[in-house]
Amino acid sequence: MKPIRIAAFVLIAAAVVAFAGVGRPESAGGAAKAAGGITVSGTGTVTSVPNQAEFSLGVQTNGSTAREALAKNSQEMHRVIAALSSAGVEKRDIKTQDVSVSPSYADEGQVSGFSARNSVTVTIRELSKAGDVLDAASNAGANEVYGPTLTRSDQEGEQRKALRSAFADARVKAEALAGAAGVRLGSVTAITEGFSGGPEPYFAAVPGARVMADKSPPIEPGTQDAQATVTVTFAIS
């Protein structure tokens, strides 16, 4: 009886193993679903014309004492700020940048007086008025003029356009790779925004001498680029 029982157990075990493979086609040589995906980087650039400018306008005065130099400076700076307002610059666009008083030295190294300085950053939202604003400030007493930094008022919108362009570039690359590999491009599984340096502002110094009314400095906006990069992973099938 023992040999018969052993043979029965062997047959039952074989049957269990056979039925365990039912419903699992991959064990019969079927291909498993494709895993992973295609990861690509895309870049986008949007070129636009700046429509606003930022300047640094300042007043430097001298006096025999620190108090005298600062008093002169404050008087001059009040005139400059009033002139900016009269030229159409809003109060929110005038911001104090620096106030300082420092000694001046003679050749022998002795203190010969004091120099006071006060400067403000000014945002001019209508670029066509920049020359007139600078002219008004200079005639009011501004003897330090630096700029401009030219930008777009809708810079964030331009950056979003660049991001959409970068994504479109990534998709084109992924489709090319999928075609070369003989697979189909699926849905997006991951997106990472890469670092992009913002628009490169144009910055130049304007001579500190007073500007004549008939010689307002011309401001040419040129163009600037908003750039974006993205890394995108697409599923494949």
Structure confidence by residue, pLDDT tens digits, 14-24 = 433 333 343 34
First to last CA, the chain: 57
**What does the pLDDT look like over 179-230, one tens digit per residue?**
999 999 999 999 999 865 555 554 444 433 333 344 677 888 889 999 999 9
**What does the pLDDT look like over 99-112, one tens digit per residue?**
999 999 988 888 99
Query: Does domain 51-152+202-219 fall into CATH 3.30.70.2970?
Result: yes
- Here the contacts of 200-207 (C-beta below 8 Å, separation 24 or greater) are 200/224, 200/225, 201/149, 201/150, 201/151, 202/50, 202/148, 202/149, 202/150, 203/146, 203/147, 203/148, 203/149, 204/147, 204/148, 205/145, 205/146, 205/147, 206/55, 206/134, 206/145, 206/146, 206/147, 207/145
Two tokens at 160? 């979003």
CB neighbourhood size of 41 (10 A) = 14
State how far the Cα of 24 lies from the Cα of 226, in Å rounded to an integer.
53
**What does the pLDDT look like over 110-121, one tens digit per residue?**
899 999 999 999
- How long a stretch of residues is the chain? 237
Q: pTM higher than 0.75 for the full model?
A: no
State how far the Cα of 51 lies from the Cα of 153, in Å rounded to an integer.
7
State the average pLDDT over residues 156-177: 96
- Where are the domains positioned within the chain? 51-152+202-219
State how far the Cα of 31 lies from the Cα of 237, in Å rounded to an integer.
12
